[in-house]
Structure 1
Amino acid sequence: MVGIAGRPDRWASVRRGAFMTTTFCMLWMVTIGLNPLSEKVKTIPATGDGDFARQLCYSLIFIVAFIASRPLTQPRNLFALPLGITIALGWCWLSLSWSDVPGVGMRRLILTSIIMFSIFRSVQEIGHERSIAMIRLLLLITLVLNYVAIVVTPAAIHQIAEIGDPNLIGNWRGVLPQKNFAGAICAFTIILFSFDAQKLKPWLRVAVIVASLFFLYKTKSKTSEGILVLAMIAGWIYTRYNPSYRALIIPLLSVAGCAAVLYVETNWDALVEPLRRPDAFTGRTQIWPPLVNYANDHLLTGTGFGSFWNVGPTSPIYQYAEGWVTGIAAGHNGYLDMLVQIGLPGLILTVVAMIIWPMIRLLSSRTAPRQTGALLLAVIVFCMGHNLTESSLFDRDMVVQQFLSFAVAMISSVLGSTYAVRRTRSTPVPRDARIAHPRPMVREPMIKERQA
């Protein structure tokens, strides 16, 4: 790396090391955290108090990423987030103006914002290849620790049921707080070791995938199991499809989406009838109606970011539901949770910025490497589907949200690097530059030798 006036930048390696450290620490905090084997305990009514040690660690990670970005000499580095995500976060900040608990919402939004900045800035600095390698390393460490925990302590297996999930006992969770987190981590491990992993030893890839599949099965995380299949299919199609025709997928998906909406509207009663059973989706269908009712009453604004669940007795859930539903900490649907927090405009901004636009960029790109693109597409599809029955979208350090952030950041890195290479190869040298820097005259001596 070169600094001002062509001089070597002596601090380049230091900054790169700082960003690699922040990336690994971020991944460790997101997956394993400070207290492995700890379970989340929720009091009723919950007050929304944060974990000071966790907040301090993320703050230190952000400070390192901020300083290493050289804000005084390179202020443009501070604009690491894409425009769409910046606008979505801006709407979230605006929503705090009508929140009944702006202090709780602000603390959660600050944590969300600094984590996202740290992820995008780190990937921007170290590149997608190093980022993928570090993610694989952390996932491998987590998988080993999960199996070690299963062998050495009964705490790695759920011993008590949770509110809304009476069948939790006996499900594996390893060193992670809950079996759904463990299931998502296993799914990401399978994706990361299936795509764009040609440089790894075949036996290592097979061993990790098999071990992750078995652990995923033992978690009994049906959401992760089902969505993983769709994500793997999407990734496989991306590797096989002709890049020249990828852009056709977008209008085809649009037509298919319109057809699906029309079908749902005309067959709504028949489709929702199975969902009316109390045990459907392990009780989630009893959670969603209160959220829909609240959204109908506050469609444009919502409660304000981070101001619906886990905020104490003022939470709107106590006015729209009763019984065990009031004792949970999330709506088990990321889209509904965002809808009741930041309204329909905020939900649209968030989904477009984090899911739709990144997928469009991947599907319409003719330069993205197939294996890398397949990996990133599979991660996005998994995160998109996972939010149908679990809540993680724009939710602080939730593991699925942060893997989605890494994927979106790496898409910018992949497409940015391929665009730069294409420009370098195709851009002609200006005539003035050719005159100022003429090619060396290597043929003249050869001509004289022949004449002699």
Structure 2
Amino acid sequence: MNALDRADIWRSAFPRLTFLPVLEATLAVLAILLFSQALLGPLLVDPLKPDAAEALRLVWLPVYGVTLVVIAMRPLALLETALRAWPLVLLAVLAGLSTFWSIDPDITSRRALALAMTTLFGLWLASRFDWKSLLTIIAISFAILMAGSAIAGALVPGFGVMQEIHPGAWRGLWWEKNTLGAMMGWAVLAFTGAAAFDPKRRMLWLALVIPALALVLLSTSRTALLASFIAIAGPGMIALARRDAASSAIAVMTGIMGVALGILVLIIGPGVLLEALGRDATLTGRTDIWEALFRQIGQRPLLGFGYGVFWQVETGPAHWVRLETNWPVPTAHNGWIETALATGLIGVGVAVIAYAGALGSAAMRLFKGNETYWALPFLVMWGLISFSESNLAEQNSLMWVMFTATAAKLAQPREAVP
């Protein structure tokens, strides 16, 4: 009798704790709320100096502790999921190894640990919950965030509405309006995804789309409006593709043409897209920053400068970027460039494998499986946003938690249809 057999006998003899699934789901919702950095972030952190708030840093310790506890309850399930989602694990490992060549090892080691715990939490979500439960947990979390943002904007406008920059634009529970818009764009998709799995509460989930869209409009974020359009049109196109052969051909061709057009715009003239989204095509539109960063990447092309450290060393390479652009640039505003700065082209290659694998798996499920209503639009939205926001392998980030959970679930065998 080996150790695994003994463990099974021990578990079968142990009294079953029927409240554990509810407790785990509750802990998952609470952790997702914390990873969203709603409310606590604006109260405790300067967005330009996220490492400066010791109080917020202490908040993550219990989150990490709870993550390790729930993983210890089902370690083999997480191990299996991690092996299937190996590119995500490799990204976290590479971030940790970058401590050895980082321009500031202390910052890199701290942030790499945070990334590892963020990734582990996403992997735990994928290993612990089926698609229906996972999307319900995500949707409930966004419903709470939506309600809190509506209350903040309506009843506490001094906090929930921007006063100096973009006066009148709602920011809800976050630092600024674009974050509220982005979160509510994801909320629209989360509610749609939960509705696909829950016929009894489908109308309730779909009804929540309306206030989420209202908050997107109140945020005045054009990027979030585009994301919300994808969150609604994506599931609609998937439903159309499943109707009959003619509808399927129309939906697939429309999707391919839309993606091809988006890639073409990003390659040939990203400034056109940025201006359409209401951003100057130079500094705030990011192209000047990217040109300066490409020159820095050329200094350390394979391994980068170390995870999470490029913008933190005032006298380091970021100094020359800020001097060249004449602007205190806080991030690369591009997930792929940020990854190249942190872990080099090797890290970018691993990230491409992770994203392409997840996107390919979601596309293969176009005609079967309710999870596609979430997974495919999510990955398209996430991929588009990655070209203008630093959302790839980001520590303590809800976006990375959701990406990890979604990609890891897609790496698992398909669930049996009830």
TM range (shorter): 0.7 to 0.9
Q: CA deviation at 1:199?
A: 2.5
Q: 1:305 to 1:48 in 2, by over 3 A?
A: farther
Cα pair 1:65 1:122 within 8 Å, conserved: no
The Cα offsets for residues 405-446 of structure 1, whole Å up to 9 and x where unpaired, read as 232233345x4423xx79xxxxxxxxxxxxxxxxxxxxxxxx
What TM-score do you get using the length of structure 2 for normalisation?
Answer: 0.81
Cα pair 1:30 1:398 within 8 Å, conserved: yes
Distance 2:11 2:88 in 1: 34
Question: SS where residue 240 of structure 1 aligns?
Answer: helix
User: Structure 1: any 5+ residue segments left out of the alignment?
Assistant: 162-167, 423-452
Matched residue, 1:316 = 317
Aligned residues: 397
Matched residue, 1:105 = 108
Q: CA deviation at 1:43?
A: 6.2
Determine which of 127, 131, 152 is the counterpart of 2:130: 127
Matched residue, 1:338 = 339
Q: CA deviation at 1:109?
A: 1.3
- Are 1:147 and 2:145 counterparts? no
- Are 1:213 and 2:213 counterparts? yes
Question: SS where residue 103 of structure 1 aligns?
Answer: helix
Q: Which moved more, 1:222-231 or 1:129-138?
A: 222-231
Matched residue, 1:429 = none
Distance 1:87 1:295 in 2: 21
Q: 1:179 to 1:402 in 2, by over 3 A?
A: farther
Matched residue, 1:296 = 298
The Cα offsets for residues 121-152 of structure 1, whole Å up to 9 and x where unpaired, read as 23312322112111111111111111111122
What amino acid maps onto 1:172 in structure 2?
W
Matched residue, 2:4 = none
Q: CA deviation at 1:403?
A: 2.2
Question: SS where residue 384 of structure 1 aligns?
Answer: helix
What TM-score do you get using the length of structure 1 for normalisation?
Answer: 0.76
The Cα offsets for residues 372-407 of structure 1, whole Å up to 9 and x where unpaired, read as 212111111111111121111110122322222232
Q: 1:13 to 1:127 in 2, by over 3 A?
A: farther
Q: Which moved more, 1:13-22 or 1:312-321?
A: 13-22
Q: CA deviation at 1:241?
A: 2.3
The Cα offsets for residues 308-327 of structure 1, whole Å up to 9 and x where unpaired, read as 12x13233110233277652
Determine which of 174, 177, 181 is the counterpart of 1:176: 174
Determine which of 106, 109, 117 is the counterpart of 2:120: 117
The Cα offsets for residues 254-313 of structure 1, whole Å up to 9 and x where unpaired, read as 9x869967x988xx5xx367699992273422322221221233221211111212x132
Matched residue, 1:157 = 161
Matched residue, 2:387 = 388
Matched residue, 1:23 = 28
Matched residue, 1:62 = 67
Distance 2:202 2:125 in 1: 29
Distance 1:11 1:319 in 2: 60
What amino acid maps onto 2:101 in structure 1?
W
Q: 1:53 to 1:244 in 2, by over 3 A?
A: farther
What amino acid maps onto 2:67 in structure 1?
F
The Cα offsets for residues 8-31 of structure 1, whole Å up to 9 and x where unpaired, read as 653464653453233112211022
Cα pair 2:281 2:287 within 8 Å, conserved: yes
Matched residue, 2:191 = 193
Give the RMSD, CA atoms, in angstroms.
3.7
Cα pair 1:171 1:220 within 8 Å, conserved: yes
User: Structure 2: any 5+ residue segments left out of the alignment?
Assistant: 1-6
Q: 1:43 to 1:337 in 2, by over 3 A?
A: closer
What amino acid maps onto 1:359 in structure 2?
L
- Are 1:402 and 2:405 counterparts? no
Indicate the percent of aligned positions where both proteins have the same amino acid.
17
The Cα offsets for residues 357-384 of structure 1, whole Å up to 9 and x where unpaired, read as 1111122247841x32121111111111
Distance 1:227 1:364 in 2: 22
Distance 1:8 1:373 in 2: 39
Counterparts of 1:76-91 in structure 2, within 5 Å, are 77-81=78-82, 82-91=85-94
Q: Which moved more, 1:329-338 or 1:282-291?
A: 282-291
Q: Which moved more, 1:277-286 or 1:383-392?
A: 277-286
Matched residue, 1:225 = 225
Distance 2:266 2:215 in 1: 36
Q: 1:36 to 1:395 in 2, by over 3 A?
A: closer
Q: CA deviation at 1:48?
A: 6.3
What amino acid maps onto 2:40 in structure 1?
N
Matched residue, 1:448 = none
Cα pair 1:298 1:343 within 8 Å, conserved: yes
Matched residue, 1:431 = none
Question: SS where residue 43 of structure 2 aligns?
Answer: coil
Q: 1:16 to 1:203 in 2, by over 3 A?
A: closer
What amino acid maps onto 1:401 in structure 2?
W
Matched residue, 1:327 = 328
Matched residue, 1:138 = 141
Cα pair 1:196 1:372 within 8 Å, conserved: no
Q: Please identify the structure whose Cα radius of gyration is greater.
A: 1
Matched residue, 1:287 = 289
Cα pair 2:88 2:404 within 8 Å, conserved: no
Cα pair 2:119 2:404 within 8 Å, conserved: yes
Matched residue, 1:305 = 307
Question: SS where residue 280 of structure 1 aligns?
Answer: coil
Q: CA deviation at 1:233?
A: 3.1
